[in-house]
Amino acid sequence: MNRVYIAFFSLLRWVVLKAPSWMLRPMLNALANLARWVDAKHRRIIRINLDLAYGESMDTQQKEKIVRECYKNMVYLVADFMRNYKTTQEAILQKVRIENENIVVDALASGRPVIFQTAHYGNWELVPLTLAARFGPLSGVGRPLDNPAINQIVRESREQFDVELIDKKGAMRAMLKAVKNGRNLGLLVDQNTSKKAGVVVEFFGRPVRHTPAASILARRIDGVIVPVFITTQNHETYTLSFYDPIEVPKTDNMEEDILAATQAQAHITEAVIRQKPEEWFWFHRRWRGENKTAYGVSRKKNDA
């Protein structure tokens, strides 16, 4: 079965690489529409999320447009992932324009550890590759995929240009080791967490569980948190933007310090999403931790 998955991936990648744009784009758009049509579960989740985030400030027509664009963004993300599999640093940097690069240059020049904070926004798979290609070795935290064959392909792609993937289990020790070895760190911080693993912050005016990992780590190693997000207008070229660094206070109240820095991460993530909401991963039950009945189902571990 693993060979079937690999063969299917190879076939799709060949199509993405060889098909001219005038042929490929209609195919991808049709695939996005098909996925939206058959995926009733996630269509419903997206609509609930949009209602939770925007309420009546956004009309139904606007929300439905975002639903459509969400599926399109995911299909184009997968297509670009196939292009980037076994690619080169030059190819990555040619299609990504870097904005506010001085923020990273100054952070690196300070000699302090740098923790890049991002989200499942835009073509997020491009973020670590671009960071590593431009700024050197990067370590990030993630969970292995359930399918071994697909996980191997994804891992090979994500670990290009000296990117290190750290398993979520026991991640703190591995991240400290990475910092000691002079590596930058990258964390995705926009998904719901368990009650034990998260702190409650405000996100789109509602309480949510948010991982404090970046805040805890930055406080412990005197690191600086640099928010970074990627966006596109045409799914061919991209803009990687850096935002003002987030400093973790060091007062006598460690819990308040960590909460303040974590809330700052939630604020910048929300601000970016509001600029172009269709590029965020609305498929995830982001508010389920503190709004247990919002989705009409009981809370389950690892439920999307």
Indicate the pairing of strand 224-232 with strand 238-242.
antiparallel
Look at residue 284 and tell me if it is in a domain.
Answer: no
**What SS3 state is found at 192?**
coil
pLDDT at 292: 80
Separation between Cα atoms, residue 132 and residue 184, nearest integer Å: 9
The CA R_g of the chain, rounded to the nearest whole Å, is: 19
What is the average pLDDT value for the chain, to the nearest integer?
A: 94
- Does 286 fall in a domain? no
**CA 113, CA 136: separation in Å to the nearest integer?**
13
Full-model pTM: 0.94
Is the residue at 288 inside a domain? Answer: no
Flag whether 291 is in a domain: no
Helix 2-18 vs helix 148-158: angle between axes, to the nearest 10 degrees? 40
63-103 residue pLDDT tens: 999 999 999 999 999 999 999 999 999 999 999 999 999 99
pLDDT category, 3, cuts 50, 70, 90? confident
Q: Residues for the chain: how many in total?
A: 304
Kindly give, in sequence order, each residue whose CB lies less than 8 Å from that of residue 252, ignoring residues fewer than 6 positions away: none
Q: Is the pLDDT of residue 302 over 90?
A: no
- What are the DSSP calls for 64-75, one per residue? HHHHHHHHHHHH
Q: Is 304 inside any structural domain?
A: no
Q: Tell me: the pLDDT tens digits for 57-71?
A: 999 999 999 999 999
Other beta carbons within 10 Å of 136: 13
Residue 248 lies in a domain: yes
Residue 302 included in any domain: no
E strand or H helix at 79: helix 60-84
Domain extent, residue 223, equals 2-279
Does 263 map to a domain? yes
Q: How many domains does the structure of the chain reveal?
A: 1
In the prediction, which pLDDT does 1 show? 64
Residues 6+ apart with CB under 8 A from 160: 84, 86, 87, 129, 132
- 205: exposed, middle or buried (Cβ count in 10 Å: 0-12, 13-18, 19+): exposed
pLDDT value at residue 297:
56
